[in-house]
Amino acid sequence: MQYAERVAELAEERDPAKLLAILLAAHGDKVTLDEQDGSARIEQVRWRLFSGLEGECRPEWFEGWRGLYEGVLAVMDRGVRLDVTDRLDFGGECFVWEVKRYGPPRGF
């Protein structure tokens, strides 16, 4: 994402998980961040950005939105991966975002 560095500068945060939590909270959503053993779990209990559009919501909406954050995190640290393990748009209790570090493959 071409503005990722500027976004991080304005947020005064370079850590990928903390920056993601800040960006999600900036939408007006409640988020919680739990960091353990080099990975982070962020829970987002509502999706204010698309509130009221639940009947029209398509999975592609979330996938596009998630892609923006994947781009930002890739600029901040190419060694992290963003996974989503639960989704409000699929009937889950919250979005669960997981930021994990990965290394090179050890062989196939």
Per the domain annotation, does 13 fall within a domain? yes
pLDDT of 7 over the 80 cut: no
pTM metric for this prediction: 0.86
Among residues 55, 46, 60, the alpha carbon closest in space to that of 95 is found at: 46
pLDDT of 11 over the 80 cut: no
Instruction: Encode pLDDT of 62-92 as tens digits.
Output: 999 899 899 889 888 889 999 999 999 899 9
Domains: count for the chain: 1
Per the domain annotation, does 33 fall within a domain? yes
Among residues 102, 104, 92, the alpha carbon closest in space to that of 16 is found at: 102
The mean per-residue pLDDT over the stretch 14-23 comes to 92
Per the domain annotation, does 96 fall within a domain? yes
Per the domain annotation, does 77 fall within a domain? yes
User: Which residue range(s) make up the domain with 55?
Assistant: 4-101
The label of the residue with tokens 């920056």 reads 19
